[in-house]
């Protein structure tokens, strides 16, 4: 009996996902638990396993499609089976019967074609054709299409590869990345084989004296969701800001002592420990505004903003107020590694009650961060810089760091927010109290 494959929900705030790549072709066999496709959310790219066993009868949504959660994206069943009743509205029963694949893989559906602007004209390329071109280091603009209206399909790429000029793998890769046609290059290698240096020379010649234009980066996936959420955050919240400078002398001393004893913690770990403590003393900073009122959280889950390739993700240290500094250090290190390697699970980045965003490692003096909804505040942390300050009427050099607190003024008033920030400062200037 045919079964639907739906877009799964990965995280509480996920509303849609982008299909990056199908790992099984139409007509291919799949077992429950086998890897079926790759998807991208606002948080990460993840491989999704099949929830059914049988033949992949139909791919309803192709690569590049943005699909709402719980919507049907594919049908799995027995070869030749009528699956028309499982199709989304608008798909005809006759179409379902006609498209039921035989044991052999189905042809590339034209519906999967991606519009592509190449050589000054609009072309259409199927995802499998684009994938094959990437694998073989072929510039897709060089491939003539045999499909309707010049549609480039997988067969076109394979035929072109068989007759393409000989080039080294590196030369093919660079040519594909830079949009250079191998047909226009005279190779300097053995028997006229095109080398990477030949491609580099072509690119240099093309660049010199050429007019510089513009390029469009599509707003999709994680970047799109981050943009939407940050705009909504500024629109929906009454965001205000306080700043304070902190003398990090004691924090530096404590960290060096721990390091000497073999305990590895970062300044960010110390900051998170102090923030967690302050949140227990100022519960309104650990709350959220809802339609029914202000929800005050009795648990303290501190998010740590981590920059990844396509945007920003905030792994969450759960129950941070109950952890020792060493435990926070171990947890933050593990979460940061998982974020950069794209191994975070939904539980790793949901449930935060407050966020710490540290850009000090990028030599940023101070900045104003945007609140991560539905939290009520976020702490922006700048670099630690040796600064002349006055202590006991004398000018001395101290390691100074600037903290910037952004808070939702609908939930927290200015004075309590300032007291909360001051408490963090006090704890950072005397961190031994927490150890």
**CATH, domain range 221-434:** 3.30.559.10
- The CATH architecture to which 3-106 belongs is Beta Barrel (2.40)
Residue extents of the structural domains in the chain: 3-106, 221-434
- Of the pLDDT bands very low, low, confident and very high (cuts 50, 70, 90), residue 148 is low
What digits encode the pLDDT tens for the residues 161-195? Answer: 777 778 887 887 787 777 777 777 888 887 788 88
Is 409 considered catalytic here?
Answer: yes
Average pLDDT, the chain: 84
* Catalytic choice (61, 116, 191, 409): 409
Task: Calculate what percentage of the chain has a pLDDT beyond 70.
Answer: 87
Nearest by Cα to 186 from 178, 177, 195: 195
Taking the C-alpha atoms of residue 165 and residue 134, their distance in angstroms, rounded to an integer, is 16
pLDDT at 353 over 80: yes
Q: How far apart are CA 136 and CA 156, in angstroms?
A: 13
**CA nearest to 201, candidates 177, 172, 176, 180:** 180
Q: Rounded to an integer, what distance in angstroms lies between the CA atom of residue 344 and that of residue 355?
A: 17
Q: Does the pLDDT of residue 88 top 70, yes or no?
A: yes
pLDDT in tens, 290-341: 999 999 999 999 999 988 776 778 999 999 999 999 999 999 999 999 888 8
Query: What's the mean pLDDT in 198-214?
Result: 73
The pTM is what?
A: 0.60
Fold agreement between 3-106 and 221-434: no
């Amino acid at each position: 009996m045919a079964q639907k494959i739906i877009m799964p929900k990965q995280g509480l705030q996920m509303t849609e996902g982008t299909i990056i790549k199908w790992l099984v072709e139409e007509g291919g066999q799949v077992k429950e638990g086998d890897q079926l496709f790759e998807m991208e959310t606002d948080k990460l790219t993840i491989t999704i396993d099949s929830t059914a066993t049988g033949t992949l009868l139909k791919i309803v949504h192709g690569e590049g499609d943005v699909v709402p959660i719980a919507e049907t994206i594919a049908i799995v069943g027995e070869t030749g089976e009528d699956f028309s009743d499982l199709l989304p509205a608008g798909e005809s029963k006759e179409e379902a019967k006609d498209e039921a694949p035989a044991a052999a893989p189905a042809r590339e559906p034209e519906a999967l074609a991606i519009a592509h602007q190449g050589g000054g004209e609009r072309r259409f390329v199927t995802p499998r054709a684009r994938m094959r071109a990437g694998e073989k280091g072929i510039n897709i603009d060089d491939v003539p299409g045999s499909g309707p209206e010049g549609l480039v399909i997988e067969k076109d790429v394979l035929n072109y590869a068989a007759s393409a000029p000989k080039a080294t793998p590196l030369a093919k890769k660079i040519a594909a990345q830079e949009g250079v046609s191998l047909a226009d290059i005279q190779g300097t290698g053995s028997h006229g084989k095109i080398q990477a240096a030949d491609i580099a020379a072509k690119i240099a010649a093309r660049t010199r004296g050429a007019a510089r234009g513009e390029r469009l980066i599509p707003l999709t996936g994680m970047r799109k969701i981050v943009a939407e959420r940050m705009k909504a955050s500024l629109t929906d919240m009454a965001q205000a800001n306080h700043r304070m400078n902190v003398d990090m002398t004691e924090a530096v001393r404590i960290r060096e002592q721990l390091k000497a004893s073999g305990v590895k913690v970062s300044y960010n770990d110390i900051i998170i420990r102090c923030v967690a403590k302050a949140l227990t003393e100022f519960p309104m900073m650990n709350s959220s505004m809802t339609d029914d009122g202000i929800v005050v959280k009795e648990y303290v889950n501190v998010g740590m903003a981590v920059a990844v390739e396509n945007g920003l993700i905030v792994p969450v240290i759960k129950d941070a107020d109950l952890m020792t500094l060493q435990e926070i250090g171990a947890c933050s290190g593990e979460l940061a590694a998982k974020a950069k390697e794209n191994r975070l699970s939904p539980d790793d980045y949901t449930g935060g009650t407050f966020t710490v965003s540290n850009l000090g490692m990028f030599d940023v003096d101070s900045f104003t961060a945007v609140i991560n909804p539905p939290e009520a505040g976020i702490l922006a942390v700048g670099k630690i810089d040796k600064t002349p300050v006055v202590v006991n009427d004398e000018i001395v050099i101290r390691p100074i760091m600037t903290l910037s607190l952004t808070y939702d003024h609908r939930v927290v008033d200015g004075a309590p927010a300032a007291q909360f920030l001051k408490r963090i400062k006090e704890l950072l200037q005397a961190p031994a109290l927490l150890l």
